[in-house]
């Protein structure tokens, strides 16, 4: 309970600062976050006015936190704030698909991925880990030199990212932003949470850093599945205009032949896109 109270205090103080900040885009809480805030204030007022009703207030708060946690564990949900899951339906993006590649760069896999993309004249968005960008700066610059875009996937890809408080979460994202800018000279405009998992602190942090959350339409689960056929099927049946597809050049599972799954899936995917006359675009094309 003490942790919850502390976290809530921190959140509302933080949210207040966000809505008051003058030179930043105004952060607008999602309807669920707004309703949660009202519920918490109502519970606090009820406790002061009628202390004996505390079990009801506590029950309401626990139920609310279960809903919030559920929304954070659902990577494609919009309940905690805006979340790009498809390319916008715009004329210039007709017959476009965005391939996104996470968790790199990786010195063994990424150069091969770049060759495969070049072979099909395809463009991709790489959600890189800040630490890895610092570790392999030449590779990160090579990604950009070949016409792809690097976006922010946090500094360390912490497995407990969705459990972090606002300060630690903000530091992870800000440091990822700084690492990518220092190496490539370009600031990311999109953020993807590690494993897509998040909590209510994320949305105001992204507003402050002028970042947009992006998840995906479909993912291949290629960090856990070594079956390239199954990964391909998850991504490509069916392929539709506007899809945002997710593969991994970092943390990649290995096929029986020892190859990273993406290296077997990507050429097939690029062939399938070509056969359906679908063009690859970077996520930045989604910005109006």
Q: Please indicate whether residue 86 is annotated as part of the active site.
A: no
Site for Zn ion in 180-209 (CB under 5 A): 194
The catalytic position among 40, 102, 106, 153 is 102
C-beta of 40 vs 248, nearer to Zn ion: 248
Nearer to Zn ion, 10 or 131 (CB): 131
Tell the residue number behind the tokens 């790009």, with chain if given: 84
Summary count for the chain: helices (H), strands (E): 10, 8
Nearer to Zn ion, 75 or 194 (CB): 194
249 near Zn ion, rule: CB under 5 A:
no
Tokens 């998040």 locate to 198
Cβ distance 143 to 117 under 8 Å?
no
Binding mask 85-104 for Zn ion (x = CB under 5 A): -----------------xx-
CA 53-54-59 angle, to 5 degrees, is: 105
Query: Catalytic: 229?
Result: no
Please pick, among 40, 148, 153, 248, the residue that the annotation labels catalytic: 248
102-161 residues near Zn ion, rule: CB under 5 A: 102-103
User: With respect to Zn ion, which residue has the nearer C-beta, 83 or 96?
Assistant: 83
CB of 160 to Zn ion, least distance (A): 14
Q: How far apart are CA 189 and CA 207, in angstroms?
A: 11
| DSSP per-residue string spanning 1-44 | -HHHHHHHHHHHHHHHHHHH-SSSPPP---HHHHHHHHHHHHHH
Positions annotated as catalytic residues are 102, 248
Residues at the interface with Zn ion (CB under 5 A): 102-103, 194
């Amino acid at each position: 309970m003490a942790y919850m109270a502390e976290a809530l205090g921190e959140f509302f103080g933080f949210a207040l600062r966000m809505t008051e900040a003058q030179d930043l885009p105004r952060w607008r809480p999602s309807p669920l976050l707004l309703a949660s805030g009202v519920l918490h204030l109502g519970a606090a007022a009820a406790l002061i006015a009628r202390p004996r009703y505390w079990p009801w207030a506590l029950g309401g708060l626990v139920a609310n936190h279960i809903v919030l946690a559920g929304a954070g564990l659902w990577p494609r949900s919009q309940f905690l704030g805006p979340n790009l899951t498809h390319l916008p339906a715009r004329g210039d993006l007709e017959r476009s698909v965005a391939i996104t590649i996470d968790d790199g760069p990786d010195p063994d896999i990424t150069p091969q991925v770049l060759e495969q993309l070049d072979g099909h004249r395809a463009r991709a968005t790489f959600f890189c880990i800040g630490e890895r960008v610092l570790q392999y700066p030449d590779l990160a610059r090579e990604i950009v030199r070949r016409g792809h875009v690097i976006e922010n996937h946090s500094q360390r890809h912490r497995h407990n990212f969705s459990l972090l408080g606002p300060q630690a979460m903000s530091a992870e994202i800000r440091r990822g932003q700084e690492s990518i800018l220092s190496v490539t000279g370009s600031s990311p405009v999109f953020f993807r949470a590690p494993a897509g998992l998040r909590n209510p602190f994320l949305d105001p942090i992204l507003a402050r850093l002028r970042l947009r959350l992006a998840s995906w339409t479909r993912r291949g689960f290629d960090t856990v599945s070594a079956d390239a056929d199954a990964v391909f099927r998850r991504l490509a049946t069916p392929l539709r205009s506007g899809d945002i597809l997710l593969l991994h050049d970092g943390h990649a599972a290995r096929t029986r032949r020892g190859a990273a799954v993406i290296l077997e899936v990507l050429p097939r995917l690029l062939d399938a896109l070509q056969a359906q006359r679908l063009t690859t675009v970077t996520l930045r094309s989604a910005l109006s």
